[in-house]
Amino acid sequence: MKLNILMVEDDQSVAEMMEMFIKKEGWTMEVATDGEQAVEKFSANPDQYNLVTLDLNLPKKDGIQVAREIREKSPTIPIIMLTARNSEAEQILGLGVGADDYVSKPFSPLALIARIKALQRRIDIEESQSRAKAEADKVKEKFDVETEHIKISKDRREILFDNKKVPDITPKEFDLLAIMAEKPKQVFSRSQLIDYVWGYNFFGEERTVDAHIKKLRHKLEKVGANVIQTVWGIGYKFDDSQV
């Protein structure tokens, strides 16, 4: 990946040295020589930078304050702090205000390049994992039946009415609603529903359907309206278009 790096460094010799190594990687670099200039450059167009290297000891505005202000503009931009200070307290402070890594001066340019690559790889992996999770969540949230008010997932055995979960649905109640909701406004006879839900070998009474429909209606009405209509002399149909 080609990077555009904002190097915040008041030592011109360090900046010039790093620019040679950065260009050798095929990356580009801009330099800010004090804290105020760094914030101005970054604020003008945060999206143009892929990474910031930030000296802690800067004129006009120190690296800690610069890191805070950069983080306000971009919570995700990678920041590597460069400093002559080497105390644990300073490292904790730098990381605490949003730095992703910490390199003490004097440092090897090749070592800094390696840290940049390692940080970028980690971020790429995290972004890839995040995208994969988002895709998995989309699949997970897929519904087999979606009408104006009802969503049904057969894998999760889940029914939502206006995005509110319908509680305590039994397997037979679920199957009855799923069958009818797949074909809104189609009238199903009791015998058809028995064949679909109980199977052809069912030897009970057709009124069994009525008992299950009554309980199903009661549960649906707890979170919404009645979407199962009785068609007298024939059976039942699903219709939520008038809700």
Residue with tokens 């037979």: 172
Do residues 33 and 57 lie in contact, with contact meaning Cβ atoms separated by under 8 Å?
no
193: its two tokens: 């529903």
Average pLDDT over residues 119-137: 75
Asked if residue 59 has pLDDT above 80, the reply is: yes
d(CA 48, CA 51): 9
pLDDT of residue 87: 60
Handedness of CA 90, 91, 96, 100 (dihedral sign): positive
Where does residue 213 rank: exposed (0-12), middle (13-18), buried (19+ CB within 10 A)? buried
Tell me how far apart the alpha carbons of residues 64 and 82 are, in angstroms, rounded to a whole number. 11
The string of pLDDT tens digits covering residues 7-46 is 998 888 888 888 899 999 899 999 988 889 999 999 988 8
Angle separating helix axes 207-223 and 190-197, nearest 10 degrees? 80
**136: three-class secondary structure by DSSP:** helix
Mean pLDDT of all residues in 73-82:
86
Residue with the bigger pLDDT between 226 and 202: it is 226
178 compared with 242, residue with greater pLDDT: 178
Instruction: State the pLDDT confidence band at 147, using cuts at 50, 70 and 90.
Output: very high
Question: Residue 3's pLDDT band (boundaries 50, 70, 90)?
Answer: confident
Amino acid (one-letter) located at 23: K
Residues 172-184, mean pLDDT to the nearest whole number = 95
Residue 94: band (very low, low, confident or very high) from pLDDT cuts 50, 70, 90: low
Reduced to 3 DSSP states, what percent helix, strand and coil does the chain have, rounded to the nearest 5?
A: 45, 20, 35
Residue 176's pLDDT is 95
Q: 54 has which bridge partners?
A: 8, 81
What is the per-residue DSSP string for 154-205? TTTTEEEETTEEPPS--HHHHHHHHHHHTSTT--EEHHHHHHHHT-TT--S-
Residues in contact with 158: Cβ distance below 8 Å, sequence separation at least 6, in sequence order: 151, 152, 165
Q: Which residue has better confidence, 189 or 140?
A: 189
Residue 228 tokens, joined: 């199962």
Higher pLDDT, 85 or 195: 195
Position 186 scores a pLDDT of: 96
Contact between 21 and 110 under an 8 Å Cβ cutoff? The reply is yes
Residue 197 pLDDT greater than 70, yes or no: yes
